[in-house]
Amino acid sequence: MINSLSDLEIQTLGACRIESPLAAELNGRRTSPHNVPENDRVLYDDTLSTARGRGLPLEELPGFEPAGPRRKIYFDPAKTRAGIVTCGGLCPGLNDVIRGIVLQLTRHYGVRRIVGFRNGYQGFIARYGHPAEELTVDSVSGIDERGGTILGTSRGQQDPEEIVDCLERMNINVLFVIGGDGTMHGATQVSRIVRERGNKIAVVGIPKTIDNDIPVIDHSFGFQTAFGQAAESIRAAHVEACSAPNGVGLVKVMGRQSGFIACYAALAKGDADYVLIPEVPFALDGDDGFLEHLRRRVLERGHAVVVLAEGAGQEHIPHEDRGVDASGNLRMKDIGSFIKERIVADFQQSKLDINIRYFDPSYGIRSVPANPYDSVYCLRLAHAAVHAAMAGRTETVVGRFHGRLVHLPMELVASGRNLVDPHGDLWLSVLEATDQPMNFGTPAEDPRS
């Protein structure tokens, strides 16, 4: 809960005394809905009822510091050495962000030393044997046309003390961390140790998650590309389902805890009859269960398409010996294969034929290059991250909030998860588009809750 301005305060390494190479470009800019001075605020809650309820003048309401270039910067570009690391799963746009950071540092700030750390946080630890590589304008040329990340990535936690040891050895002044909530949590630990040692190293995050589950920000980069790709799988599933008697197309998309890809992809194509997401538990069996409802719809319409987020319905699968992955996340069972088997068994029990086609485009989705929208978004995030770092901001994440690029405290971004609100307008749109019921029977209790 954000209660005061101090909850959103961004840490800084100290006063900015060096004239920025961009200062001349800033002098002619006017304040507008899309540009506010650096000492202004982008309000966290811009409703009048909040101001009146707290009895506060508008300037004292909690608000985010706007992103963008400053007239004075903290670091001398000629003496600055920057590092970049990508962590976690793949996501469209990673290479766009890397390229954007390198070009901005080199061309506009004159930073000549930029290092890429290989394979996530492992790249800082000598025993893994991943040598760092110099990043230049030439070495990042054209990488935005490729999926994945040229730096590689990994999951799993590394000792933040060892990471800071590496930063000190290599004289890194600025570290750009591209990753999700676990990555940002690790970055806060790195920044804490930097502070405890009395070092002046800026740690700036660019939030990355294909599931769009990072809180506070409008959306994460790569998400639009992801749900666009998923929508094409829904289209294919619909064609398959319509082409066979009692046809069922089953599409599993990414979304461990959050069902945004499933929701947006289903809305984008309009071919889905059911959308199942982690935020809305459902019953499989019984007169009002999902299987009964699906069977009736297939008999009425001749076909159906089901869109399934990977984290949906996990409560229906036995959880013995599931374990956790390298990042500490509970391993997900293959809900797609499980639901497919249950659908087939239900039709057979009712002595009905079924033609079911199962699509799992997950790895194909996350490995593609960013679409034009995400490419632009990635570039703007990269620019904002560089501006923040060169101005000495640290323990901060750049992101879009209510259409504006802002600085967010890293702990705020790592403190929770963005979820589809079962009572919100997005889920209502899904229910309206699919014509599925609000609930399927009495859902089983989810052991994750």
- Candidate list 96, 211, 213, 273, residue with the active-site label: 211
- CB 171 within 8 Å of CB 81: yes
Q: What is the CATH number of the domain that holds 237?
A: 3.40.50.460
In a domain, 10, yes or no: no
- CB 167 within 8 Å of CB 201: yes
Could you tell me if 237 and 352 lie in one domain? yes
Distance of CA 110 to the CA centre of its chain: 30
Three-class SS state of 249: strand
Residue 34, CA distances (Å) to 66, 297, 407 in order: 10, 48, 15
Could you tell me if 57 and 197 lie in one domain? yes
- CB 392 within 8 Å of CB 75: yes
In a domain, 400, yes or no: yes
Could you tell me if 272 and 205 lie in one domain? no
Three-class SS state of 410: helix
What is the number of domains present in the chain?
2
Q: What is the CATH number of the domain that holds 374?
A: 3.40.50.450
Could you tell me if 157 and 273 lie in one domain? no
- What parts of the chain have a pLDDT lower than 70? 1-3, 25, 28-29, 32-34, 46-61, 319-330, 442-449
In the DSSP assignment, the letter for residue 208 is: B
Could you tell me if 96 and 107 lie in one domain? yes
In a domain, 31, yes or no: no
Could you tell me if 204 and 250 lie in one domain? no
Could you tell me if 112 and 242 lie in one domain? no
pLDDT at 43: 73
Three-class SS state of 288: coil
pLDDT at 42: 76
Residues counted in the chain: 449
Which residue from 163, 19, 137 is spatially nearest to 78, judged by alpha carbons?
Answer: 19
82, β-bridge pairs: 114, 174
In a domain, 4, yes or no: no
In a domain, 23, yes or no: no
The residue segments making up the domain with residue 353 are 223-367+421-434
185-214 pLDDT, tens per residue?
999 999 999 999 999 999 999 999 899 988
Q: How far is it, in rounded angstroms, from Cα 147 to Cα 176?
A: 20
Mark whether 271 is an active-site residue.
no
Rounded to the nearest 10°, the torsion over CA 279, 280, 284, 288 is 180
In a domain, 309, yes or no: yes
Could you tell me if 363 and 374 lie in one domain? no
Which residue from 184, 111, 190, 198 is spatially nearest to 398, judged by alpha carbons?
Answer: 184
Could you tell me if 85 and 189 lie in one domain? yes
Could you tell me if 282 and 211 lie in one domain? no
In a domain, 301, yes or no: yes
Output the pTM of the full model: 0.88
In a domain, 384, yes or no: yes
Could you tell me if 117 and 156 lie in one domain? yes
Could you tell me if 231 and 360 lie in one domain? yes
- CB 135 within 8 Å of CB 98: yes
What tokens appear for 97 in the block? 């962000």
**Is the alpha carbon torsion for 334, 438, 237, 247 positive or negative?**
positive
pLDDT at 320: 59
pLDDT at 403: 87
